[in-house]
Structure 1
Amino acid sequence: MASFLLHLQGINVLAYLDDWVIWDKTYELTAKAVNTTINLLRDLGFLINIPKSHLLPSTDLEWLGVRWLPLLGRWALPKNKQVAILTAIKRVLSQNQVSCRQWEHLLSKLTFATQILRHNQPLLQPLLRPQMLSDHLHRDTLKPLPSDLAKHLQLWLLPKTLVSSHRFHHLGDMIHLWTDASLFGWGGHTLAHQASGIWDTNESSLHINCLEVRAVLHSILSLNLTDCQLHLFIDNQAAQCAINKLRCKSTSLLKEISNLNRYLCSCKLFIKAFRISTLLNSRADSLSQLAITSTEWSLPEQIFKHILTWRGPLEIDLMPTNKNKKLPLYISPYPDPEALTSNALAQDWNRWEQIYIFPSKWLLPLVLEKLQTYHHHGVIILPWYPTEPWFSYILNK
C-alpha cells in the first residue's frame, strides 16, 4: 500500500519485503523523493532503521547483496562476496577433497554470483555434478575432488571472473537479427543487411544445435554488430534456450555458448533470443542454403549454347560455383578468388544488362524479389510450376 501511494506521487520505488530502493534523474530529485518516502512511512506507523539505511543519493549502491551502478546500467558482485567465494574455492582446492555440505555451500555462492554476472553461467554448468550431493553419504563425509571439477573451479580464480560487471539495462540501439543454420551453411540478416557462408569440413560434422549457435556468432561477426541490444529470432528451441540461459546439458553446445558469450561481452552486445517458426524464418533459411550448389543446378553445355544462340551473349552468371559456371564472369555463393565477388543477393544486378541465373529452389523467393528491382534483360532457369503464385509474374516479366 505504501509503495502504491508513493507511485501515485510519481516516486520511483522498488520494494522487496522491508528493503526499498528509490531513484530519480538527479541528486536533488532523489533526495526529495527519499524525504517524502520517510515522512509517508512514519505517518503510516512504520519504524525506519536509520543506521542500516543509506539516505544520501548515490550512483554506486549495494542493495540486496548486489552492487548497483545505475549510470552505467550495470551491476556487480560486492567486494565482500567476491572474497567469500574466492576463499571457499581456495579452501576446497587446497584440501583436494570436499564434503556434501561444503559443496552445497560453494554452489549456492556461485549460483548467486551467476545471477548477477550472467556471462559466467557457462562456468557454473560443469560444477553441477549430482554425484557430489549423493544422499547415501553423510553430509560431512569428505570425498576426493575429481580432477575435472578442480580444473573448472580454477577458472573462477582468474582475475576478471568475479571482478567484472554485467549489464542489467542497455542504452544502445535495438537491432533485430534472424539467423539459421543448415548442414551446409549458415545465414543471418537484419532489416537492412544480410550475410551467409558455408561450413568447413570440421564444422559440418557438428550437431545441428551447435551449428545454430555458431550461425549466430558468424552472423554477428559478418554484420559487424557492436554495442547494441540484439533481439535474436531463431527457429531452434534448444539453441534459443541455451543462449538465454547460458547453460545446457550438452558439453559441445555449452562450448559454443561460451564462445558466443565471450564475444558478446567483448563487443558490448546484449542479446535476447526468441523462438519463431521456420516459416517466419524463411529468409535466413534461404541464406543458409547458399552452399547447396551441386551440379544438379547446372544446364548441360549443349542446351546452354542453344540459349546463347537464341538469346544472344550474356554478361554474368550470378549463382554458380567455379565448377559449374557457364560464363567467365560469375559471382560465387562463397569467397572464390576466380569470382568477381561473392553472394549475388547482396549485389546490385542493374550493373549488368544481360544476366544469367539458375537458382536452387531454396533461393527462389529471394531471387524473384530481387528481380522486381532489375530493369534490364537476361535468362533465368526456373521449374515449371504453373500453380505457384510467382509463375504468372515471370511469364509477364
Structure 2
Amino acid sequence: MAARGAGAGTTATGGPATSFQRKAAAGSRLAAVPGTRPSVRHGQLLLSSGLPSLDGVLGGGLAVGTLLLIEEDKYGVYSNLLFKYFLAEGVVCGHDLFVASAMEPPDNILKKLPAPLLDDTHRNELREEVTPAKSEDFQDSMKIAWRYENLPKMEASPTTSTKFGHYYDISKTMSPELLQSIKWHSFYLPEELSLEPKLKMCNMNCGYANLLHSIQRVIYQEGFDGSHPQKKQKNILRIGIQSLGSLLWGDDICSSDTPEDIHSLTKFLYVLRGLLRKSLSACIITVPSHLIQNKAIMERVTNLSDMVVGLESFIGSERETNPLYKDYHGLLHVHQIPRLNSLICDVSDTKDLAFRLKRKQFTIELPQRNLTDLVVICYPALGAQNK
C-alpha cells in the first residue's frame, strides 16, 4: 500500500497516521565521537591534525585507524611543530593521548604544546599577522602566471566559520589547567628499559617491542579496541611517537648501510597498523629519513604507512638565500595518501607546497607568488610586454 500523503489521516493524539518514521541522518552515530566528523567522500571517521592547512593536504584530516608518517627536516625544527599540533588538538578535543619518545620525557613535550585560540579576538590578531599587505604584489603581478590563478589556495588564516580543527599560538604554551582535563599515557624509553624486562619478539629490538606492548595495553585496557564497551563516552586515542628509527631507539638503520636489525622497524610498523585498524585511534610518527642510507628500508617504511609527508627545510641550504623562496622556510612533499573505501587516492590538485613559520603560527601554502617571480625572471621581455 502506498504511503499516505501529509494530512491524509491522524491518530487520536493528533499525530500522522503512518508507520513510516524519519531515520536519523547518515553518519550521525559516527559524528557523536568528540573532535571527529565523517568524511563526505568515503565515510571514514576523520580527526584533525591540529593544522587545518595540513588537513586539506590529507583530504580532510586523518582517518581513524590510520598512520601518518612525517619525514623530519634536517634539524627537526618543523617536524616537532607538527607533532605538537597533533597532540594539542587532542587536548582541546578531549581525546586521550599516548606520547612516546626516546629523546625527551613526554611530560616535557606536553608542557611545550602551543596554546589554542578559542576566541575571536585572538583569531583576528593572528589573521593580521598571517595575511600580509599585498597591494604592491597585486600591482606587480604578471599575467604570464594566469594558469596559477585558479589553483586551490591553502587555508592560512583562522576564520570563525571553521568548525573542524583549531588554531594555535606557538608563541604561548598551553595552560596546565587544560592539560589536567585530559587523560594521557607516556612512554619514555630510558625509563621503560630500566623498569620493565627487555622484550625481544620476532627479531624486533627491545625498544620497539616494549613500545608495542605499552600501546597494546592502553588500547585494550581503556576500551579503544572496540570489542569491549568503553567505561565512558566513546573517545579517540591519539598516539604520537617521536623520532622513531633513530639511534636513541636502539636501531642502527641511521648509522649503517647494512644494519643488523634491518627489518626491525618495518615489523614494528606492520604490527602497529594492525592495532590501529581495529581500534578507535590514530597515530603520527616522525622519522629522520634523511639519515637512513638504505633506501630500500625507507621504501618499506613508506609502504607500511597510510600517509607520508616530508619536510624539506631551507636552513643551511642555498635556497635559504634564494630570492624565489624569500617568503618561505621550506617545502612540503606529499609522498603518499591512503585509498580509503575507494580505488583512487583523495589528494589535492597540487603537490607544490611550501611552509612558513611566523611568530605565532606555522602555515602550509601554495607558493603562487614565487612561481610568478620565476616566470618573470626566465622571460623578462615577455613579462614586461604583459604588464
TM range (shorter): under 0.3
Bigger-Rg structure (1/2): 1
- Structure ranking higher on relative contact order (CA contacts 8 Å, 6+ apart): 2
> Normalised by the size of structure 1, how large is the TM-score?
0.20
> Normalised by the size of structure 2, how large is the TM-score?
0.21
> Which structure's residues are more often helix, by fraction?
1
